Amino acid sequence: MRLFELLLVLSNIGLFAITVLLKKGRRRIPVFAASGIATLLLVIHWTVEGYRLQLLFPYCLTLIFLAISGYSYFTKTGPKKIPRFMLGSAYTAIALMLIATASLMYVFPVFKLPEPTGEFKVGTQTFHFVDSNREETFDEARDSKRELMVQVWYPAQAGTGKYAPFVPNPQILSYMAANYGLPGFTLQHLKYVSSHAVSGAEVSSAQISYPLILANPGNGSSRFLHTSQAENLASHGYIVAVIDHTYNTFATEFPDGRITTSTTNDLFSPGDDYKTSRESRDKLGKVLTDDVAFTLDQFELIQSGKIPSHLKGRIDLGHVGVFGHSIGGATAYDAAYDPRIAVGIDLDGGLYRMRDREGLRKPFLFINSESYFEKLKMVLDNRVYTDDELKRMGSTREWEDQVTEDKKLELKRMRETAASGGQFLYIEAAEHLNFTDVQYISPIFKMLGVTGKIAPERADFVINAYMLDFFDKHLKNQGGTLMKGPDSRFPEVKFATPLL
């Protein structure tokens, strides 16, 4: 909660208390003075912090109190006597407005992202890439080539500069709200959240070059929802490129002002059988994997100077990693078959295209939520769902038997990467969206169960620590302490690799 919006609400509570508690003849001057203070706070709040619709009630109450108290003060007369019933109703309405405002501020806070823990300052730059060799298949209305927006975070020179906003363009927030089933205006306050990266900053001269990490958001997500992870890795000496997979994000804006929304769900139908659904996921997955390979091609051009950027000559293309969340985690695994990619991390994502090739023989880290681990543990234990469980799940035995067969193959693939230096972990009390910055947006997500009981700040700290340790070990030949086994500093992290 920001300072002046908090003070504004408190001033409204004070105004209300003075009006109710002081006798009619003694409240004219105090109410006028308090109204003036509240109005001053409103002006400062709008000027310094910016308005937001969650505070509509205090805005209106402040101006109403100012008008009534100002009239009373300067005319030396109070308002006409109001019937007790009407006065009581007005007081009740004001109290409910203030309670509603406090609730909205709690549910939709203007939060602060965690500070990066590394020694480097962080810079950011966004690229628009067009793949002239691929037709766009997710928009039948346009005869066009595959386009991507890719945002990069990197170690930057220390200096001054304004931090870039967390959200690249406020216009996309209405699409984000719709993605979560909320009214379009609900998340507009996120435009006031700041990142810790400076746009266009010079690359740090502390090292000649920095390893590259490519990152992939999940279905219906966005690149900016991995800002805290990207900034933290960049602060420790990595160049991190997060790909907006066009039409698989809730919204992507291009330089010419076009905004694309998610259409990849059209590949799936509630009436599909399991085989058809799996084929559709594999079809989508191939496009996402090809996006990663194409993006890596572009960074080779950036490194050589064919695409202008501060990053020219500063990318260590001999040490490339990849990570992702949900289907983006599966993309990371599938993309890691590219010989240019050395190592990868899957954050709570089930794999795709597992039958298309042999197992991956590279170090790969799987970090799962507690609930996803429990599903995999059921497969490991050969446990079968009861009829009652299937009914509660809204599923069928035939469907879940096929899921189990896929999960057995997934566990086999995990076992193969473990033999090459990978690990299989899960985090107690963490759920699917704890692996993204969605966990900071609203505590209501915890109530709905899409984030777990673990505090967002703690989840972020733990995940970042293990990601950094794994990448350091395999891309920098340092660290690796956390990969050796359980650590008392992170009791919520459980090693499941021995179960494989």
Going residue by residue through the chain (500 aa), what tens digit of pLDDT does each one get? Answer: 799 999 999 999 999 999 888 877 677 888 899 999 999 999 999 999 999 999 999 999 999 999 988 888 888 765 567 787 887 898 899 999 999 999 999 999 999 999 999 999 999 999 999 999 999 999 876 779 999 999 999 999 987 789 999 999 999 999 999 998 889 989 999 999 999 999 999 999 999 999 999 999 999 999 999 999 999 999 999 999 999 999 999 999 999 999 999 999 999 998 899 999 999 999 999 999 999 999 999 999 999 999 999 999 999 999 999 999 999 999 999 999 999 999 999 999 999 999 988 899 999 999 999 999 999 999 999 999 999 999 999 999 999 999 999 999 999 999 999 999 999 999 999 999 999 999 999 998 898 888 999 999 999 999 999 999 999 999 999 999 999 999 999 999 999 999 99
Residues 100 and 192 in one domain: no
As a whole number of angstroms, the distance between CA 57 and CA 97 comes to: 6
Residues 59 and 130 in one domain: no
pLDDT recorded at residue 25 = 64
As a whole number of angstroms, the distance between CA 480 and CA 485 comes to: 10
Whether 227 is covered by a domain: the verdict is: yes
Residues 130 and 73 in one domain: no
Count CA atoms within 13 Å of residue 224 on its CB side.
25
Give the helix/strand (H/E) hosting 58: helix 56-75
Name the domain boundary from 77, 107, 137.
107
Contact 51, 59 (CB under 8 A): yes
Whether 116 is covered by a domain: the verdict is: no
Query: How many separate domains does the chain show?
Result: 2
Whether 113 is covered by a domain: the verdict is: no
pLDDT recorded at residue 77 = 65
Residues 267 and 300 in one domain: yes
Q: Which residue range is the domain that position 73 belongs to?
A: 3-107
Name the domain boundary from 107, 135, 152.
107
User: What contacts 88, CB < 8 A, 6 or more positions away?
Assistant: none
Residues 16 and 135 in one domain: no
The enclosing domain of 452 has a CATH number of 3.40.50.1820
pTM of this prediction?
Answer: 0.94
Beta strand 145-156 with 121-135 is: antiparallel
The closest of 5, 464, 62, 455 to 235, measured between CA atoms, is 464
Terminal CA-to-CA distance of the chain, rounded, Å?
45
User: What contacts 194, CB < 8 A, 6 or more positions away?
Assistant: 112, 113, 163, 164, 165, 166
Whether 8 is covered by a domain: the verdict is: yes
The closest of 473, 443, 433, 462 to 232, measured between CA atoms, is 462
Residues 60 and 141 in one domain: no
Contact 370, 452 (CB under 8 A): yes
Main-chain dihedrals φ then ψ at residue 199, nearest 5 degrees:
-65, 130
Residues 362 and 424 in one domain: yes
pLDDT recorded at residue 85 = 82
DSSP 142-192: ---EEEEEEEEEEEE-S---PEEESSS-GGGHHHHHHHTT--TTTTGGGGG
Whether 405 is covered by a domain: the verdict is: yes
Name the domain boundary from 74, 107, 140.
107
Whether 300 is covered by a domain: the verdict is: yes
Residues 198 and 263 in one domain: yes
As a whole number of angstroms, the distance between CA 95 and CA 427 comes to: 42
Contact 450, 431 (CB under 8 A): yes
Tokens coding 74: 């300067």
pLDDT recorded at residue 316 = 98
Whether 270 is covered by a domain: the verdict is: yes
Count CA atoms within 13 Å of residue 144 on its CB side.
11
Residues 374 and 479 in one domain: yes
The closest of 56, 39, 32 to 4, measured between CA atoms, is 39
Contact 201, 161 (CB under 8 A): yes
The closest of 369, 350, 486, 338 to 431, measured between CA atoms, is 369
Give the dihedral of Cα atoms 159, 161, 164, 170; nearest 10 deg. 180
As a whole number of angstroms, the distance between CA 410 and CA 204 comes to: 40
Residues 164 and 36 in one domain: no
Whether 115 is covered by a domain: the verdict is: no
Contact 246, 147 (CB under 8 A): yes
Tell me the angle at which helices 3-21 and 28-44 cross, rounded to the nearest 10 degrees. 170
As a whole number of angstroms, the distance between CA 252 and CA 193 comes to: 19
Q: Specify which residues 359 forms β-bridges with.
A: none
Q: Specify which residues 426 forms β-bridges with.
A: 368, 494
Residues 85 and 126 in one domain: no
Residues 134 and 171 in one domain: yes
DSSP letter assigned to residue 258: -
